[in-house]
Structure 1
């Protein structure tokens, strides 16, 4: 894709052509129809920009729709990186896992900052289009639920809630039955000879992960080896970077809802702020946090 330094210094296509004939550089390339279509075909721009369909006359509704759609795209990208990291750990490839976790962390940063798109949404503005949402709620996002499953927050009931969406339901059932990102890390530690209990490394993947003091002791052994070449220590810190960013996103979610609607019940029937606050307080990869007290 051609990139230029400036698009706003007054050059028309005719003036640009005249400048080019005089041996001067153009400030902006003039593309042919085929070239312009190539970009649109690759990115599916027309389809993408046709998906914003406000249901009310409230201008802020467009902000809400676009912010939500941006988050859905970023959920997809985070999932891509986390699954790549999980699969690399299962293959004993810590280098590739670390690279995927770093890319995922960058995407998580953008995801957390995307709440800024709704930073100016007032309660009055939200109320003017809230009824148009019906029972629609972010807690119903299958893409977000896949991320929670990868983090170990498994729930067969939440997977069943998507039975009327065959593709989403199938993907959730697959994620439910597979090891999560942290599961793969613990399995790697056990293969390396660290004292991760069998119950943690070969557990029922369909159930949520629960903290185990024996897992904390295994991670403590990893942290006791501070050599730069200790790839397991690098993995632990990369996982903690991931976990911290999950909490950051959850807290931004909590603050955005508190600002826009206070303590009202959520549109999907959740308890609103109470549910979000409990979720934000839940540690991701808990033993990586708890071991810090004793190190």
Structure 2
């Protein structure tokens, strides 16, 4: 994509148009249902670089998909609490399709050349994807918790409160371990903790029993659905790392993050670790 020297009218932020759209109800039932009158006013490039529009739309789509993923993982957790592994598997299957779309969305950002990204990067200021509260909530749901990250939301008390509750609350994997305990495969489920989940020998042994005894066929299927989820999380992190490396190399991340080094470390962390380590014992 070439850099434009004149911002096209339909790409520029028009305050009057946005204000007018905010009060509209939509010209058709479809537009009213999907709130398209608002949706199409949310893309407001701050530079005259053509590639910025692709960057904005892709990141906004990612944020919406984060919300959908949270919805289905919440349903999966609810099913697990109700001793319904089949219901949890159904929610995880739907979520896996969302994860596939999310992972594919990196293809759009991969079209940005280093020159194009550098041309509009200054308008981002301190903004960074690292600050996404929706994505951080997903990481907390997976057990990758860190209380120090809440400092980013000091000026957003509602968001900070929601993340604080997620930090101290049960994760998706906590609900899985609760189910294993109720099935007699664990002496007790670990209590939710405001820290990153660490692999436990007792949990690995529980999964080995699940994978080797036919009586636990429904939990076997649940374990494989969880692996589908975990594998897609790893793909997401790897694609994020590769995309940043391709677009900006080893420059420090916007917003003060360590950029590539932090992403590489994240990509090496396994989600639901015992489901991976037990495979060496089967």
Q: Deviations over 1:84-139 (max 9, x none)?
A: 10111011111211110000001000000011111210000000000110111111
SS of the residue aligned with 1:210? coil
1:177 to 154, 168, 171: 168
> 2: distance between equivalents of 1:212 and 1:249?
25
* 1:138 matched to 2:126: no
The match for 1:224 among 202, 212, 215 is 212
| TM norm structure 1 | 0.84
- Count of equivalent residues: 258
Q: 1:277 aligns with which of 258, 264, 268?
A: 264
1:210 aligns with 2:201: no
Native 8 Å contact 2:81 2:175 kept in 1? yes
Query: What CA deviation, in whole Å up to 9, does each residue of 1:155-208 have, x standing for no partner?
Result: 2221242131123212212211211011100110010000x353xx23242222
1:157 aligns with 2:148: yes
Q: Is the 8 A contact 1:90 1:188 kept in 2?
A: yes
Q: Show the counterpart of 2:182.
A: 191
Counterpart selection for 1:86 from 59, 63, 77: 77
What is the CA–CA distance in structure 1 between the aligned matches of 2:158 and 2:65, rounded to whole Å? 19
Is the 2:169–2:192 Cα contact (8 Å) retained in structure 1?
Answer: no
Q: Structure 1's 35 and 134: CA in aligned 2 closer, same or farther, altered over 3 A? A: closer
**Structure 2: runs of 5+ lacking an equivalent:** 1-24
Equivalent residues in 2 for 1:251-266, closer than 5 Å: 251-266=238-253
Q: Say yes or no: does 1:113 pair with 2:100.
A: no
1:60 aligns with 2:51: yes
Q: What corresponds to 1:4 in structure 2?
A: none
Alignment of structure 1 residues 227-238 onto 2, 5 Å: 230-238=217-225
CA distance in 2, matches of 1:215, 1:49: 48
Q: Which runs of 4+ in 1 moved over 4 A?
A: none
Q: Deviations over 1:59-95 (max 9, x none)?
A: 0000100010000000000000011101110111112
Report the Cα offset of residue 36 of structure 1.
5.0
* Contact 2:26 2:35 (8 Å CA) reproduced: no
In structure 1, runs of 5+ residues without a counterpart are: 1-33
Q: CA deviation at 1:248?
A: 0.5
Mapped partners of 2:161, 2:65: distance in 1: 20
Task: Mark the structure with the bigger radius of gyration.
Answer: 1
Given that 2:96 and 2:229 are in contact with CA atoms closer than 8 Å, whether structure 1 keeps it comes out as yes
